[in-house]
A = this chain, B = another copy of it.
Amino acid sequence: MKMDFNDKQIEILQVAEKLFAEKGFDGTSVREIAKIANVNIAMISYYFGSKEKLLESIVLHRIGSMGLKLENVLQEDIAPIQKIDEIIKYYILQVNENKHIHQIVQNEITNNKRGINFDSFTALKKNNLKLVESIVKEGQEQGVFKNNINVALFSPMIIGSLIYFNMNKTLYSDLFGLKSESDFDNYIKNEFTHHIQKTIKALLTNEDN
């Protein structure tokens, strides 16, 4: 699968990503994408093969440009508890910056009606899980983290709650008095992130009840 897209293709990818996230895959027509991206309708089939292949290309393009990998975020010599803080911050930031694609993939993984291949996404998740597991293990060996921690459920907690929070933007903007888009984004970067960090750390360090 080639990954080098020309300018027109990238324009299409960006427009399509936005529309797919906003209106769903089935709710978006190629006509609409073509119109907004200011290209001929036939281009989408011509460049990407089909509407479904277009979605796969969006995912590939996104993952390819996701910037810093988790591995590079962490310094070797900081305490495990700080590493956890960093990881959560990184996770939330990354998911939030790519929320369009996360929303799309989430829906499409659920609607398995289309045979779209999201292996690259799943692989990324599994890889991240391994890293977190190794850090938790490190903390456990140092005696700062409790045992019996179900690390695999961190992801649902972090990403799941963030997606849910984003999807119910109206409700939470109302509850927290967030008046603008940037208010909302700042809330995620600060209060929300802090809350999740606090929660995970409590789980890792708290005496069992």
- Residues on A lying within 8 angstroms of B by beta carbon are 21-27, 81, 103, 106-107, 109-113, 122, 125-126, 129, 150, 152-153, 155-157, 159-165, 167-168, 170-172, 175-176, 191-192, 195, 198-203, 205-206, 208-209
Copies in the complex: 4
Known: A24-B24, A110-B103. A175 touches B198 (CB 8 A): no
Q: Which residues of B contact A22 (CB under 8 A)?
A: 110-113
Candidates B81, B107, B162; contact of A209 at CB < 8 Å: B81
Q: Is the CB of A162 within 8 A of B160?
A: yes
List the 8 closest pairs (A to B, CB-CB), nearest first: A160-B164, A26-B26, A202-B206, A202-B202, A160-B161, A156-B161, A160-B160, A26-B27
In the complex, the chain B residue whose C-beta lies closest to that of A164 is B160
